[in-house]
Structure 1
């Protein structure tokens, strides 16, 4: 990371920190840095900074480092950190807000696969009213260029009846589509 002039960084990025606090509804300034969130995080082994360090970096206004971190994309949103927080900070909600901020600001280099997976998942729910795993996997593999990824699992799962080649469509797909369309119109 190198040397950082904290006073300069805090002044430059105060509006960003305030926006994250407002958008997430979480006052990160209440964090004691006890690291209970990081100690319980099942994804911390794959993160470049544990959750408590992301919160601290955010408190210090280190916008570039936070939005460029792998941590915000590795976070699974399982809320283990939130449950463990002694200050009742919803760390998972902060991570979600940081992902949204990273997308708005164009910091998605480390997130291409995460965004592709999310879009593929939502496409299947919008199209069929529920998750259709083989369809989601195929769409995601096409989007990421990993055409044969996980191919060896498909046939055995289908032969055992664990996956279907065709989606099960629910009643009320039109209502589901309307929910998606309304969400897009409202910009959420």
Structure 2
């Protein structure tokens, strides 16, 4: 890993990653830690050990929901959610898409759904993801089950004030530039 990578990671953290003392509060509060190959505290530990390359190929980056619970709970005030965003950026730049295993695609489709409706349209997201991944029939049985039990909506719902959502995406876009 080059110097720019480490500088960017520490800038995103708001302080040096070495300040983390592995209390585990970030992992304890993470709603998606169960699905991660590296838990939030392990991400920080791997960074401390200089194993950033290993993190760039991990699923954890793409499973993270960016809820900022980890950052809020950190007694050292390390912004782990921003670090994960930085790692996603580096993963997109450095890794071939075959190593990213569909998570960036899911992430992009998820954000497109939120941008369009103000919330996730689960059925549409699943169908798009499976079509683009060439696994058309993968979730058909589960979808049928969820539809019959009214756990999924057939048509998308929209939030009342989509202008607020649009402003969030505009602000994010201006920050990237």
Q: TM-score, normalised by structure 1?
A: 0.68
What whole-Å deviation, never above 9, does each CA across 1:49-100 have from its counterpart, x for those lacking one? 4433432332343332232334433444454544553322232332232122
User: How many pairs does the alignment contain?
Assistant: 177
CA distance in 1, matches of 2:163, 2:39: 42
> Which aligned segments of 4 or more residues in structure 1 are displaced greater than 6 angstroms?
none
Q: Of 127, 140, 148, which residue of structure 2 is paired with 1:138?
A: 127
Matches within 5 A, 1:167-178: 167-169=156-158
Q: Is the 8 A contact 1:13 1:62 kept in 2?
A: no
Indicate the residue corresponding to 1:32 in structure 2. 21
Q: Which runs of 5+ in 2 are unaligned?
A: none
Q: Is the 8 A contact 1:17 1:59 kept in 2?
A: no
Kindly indicate whether residue 80 of structure 2 is the aligned counterpart of residue 91 of structure 1.
yes
CA distance in 2, matches of 1:16, 1:53: 18
State the Cα RMSD in Å: 3.5
Indicate the residue corresponding to 1:5 in structure 2. none
After alignment, is 147-156 or 63-72 more displaced? Answer: 63-72
Matches within 5 A, 1:1-150: 13-38=2-27, 47-106=36-95, 108-150=97-139
Q: Is the 8 A contact 2:57 2:100 kept in 1?
A: no
Q: Is the 8 A contact 1:33 1:56 kept in 2?
A: yes
CA distance in 2, matches of 1:169, 1:85: 34
Report the alpha carbon displacement of residue 141 of structure 1 after superposing the two structures with TM: 0.8
Q: TM-score, normalised by structure 2?
A: 0.71
After alignment, is 168-177 or 50-59 more displaced? Answer: 168-177
